[in-house]
Amino acid sequence: MPHSNLSSEDRDKFTFLLDCYGAYTHHWPEENRDWALNLIEQYPEVKIVREQALELDQLLDQSSAEPDSAHLMNSILSQAPQKKSQEEKTRQKELRQGLLSQLWPYEGVWRPLSALTTAGIFGILLGTTSPDLLYQQEITEVESAYLEFSLGDSFSNSFPEGEID
């Protein structure tokens, strides 16, 4: 019961299956195998495409593989990243230490860093927990200024600079 209206999506999917896995059904993934075999039975154009792929697979099976080329192998291996030798690792470590000693000529970095960290923590703690130590103004001065401002006349004459008009 062949049909002639194969969807382009099914045609593309089947062609992709043949391109990836070849025409031999035992190479196809199991989840696609039944679907592909049903397409082959239903559509003659799919059967023709599979037969062409089967001819290609048989030709490829009959041909012998090219022997490994020593030149190609050497070319690929020369371009591959090489594992660093112990001498090179030691030389790079000495270079890094030399650059660090030029930037920081002192013995250790931990002492200045710990002093800076301690000063920073002390400053933050002092600034956030004890504002009364930094700003010494008695509460009575603030209260008296507020009362004089709210009462009216005596406020304008109490400034040491003179009267406010």
Q: Where are the domains of the chain?
A: 8-62, 106-165
CB 13 within 8 A of CB 39: no
The residue-averaged pLDDT of 59-73 equals 83
Q: What is the average pLDDT across 150-162? A: 56
Contact 139, 149 (CB under 8 A): no
Structure tokens at 10: 């099914």
Q: What is the dihedral of CA 99, 101, 103, 109, to 10 degrees?
A: 130
Q: Which residue has better confidence, 45 or 108?
A: 45
* Contacts of 23 by beta carbon, 8 Å cutoff, 6+ apart: 50, 51, 53, 54, 56, 57
Distance CA 36, CA 13 (A): 9
DSSP 82: P
In one letter, which amino acid is 120? G
pTM over 0.85: no
Phi, psi of 17 (to 5 degrees): -60, -45
Confidence category of residue 48, pLDDT binned at 50, 70, 90 = very high
**Are 37 and 25 within 8 A, CB to CB?**
yes
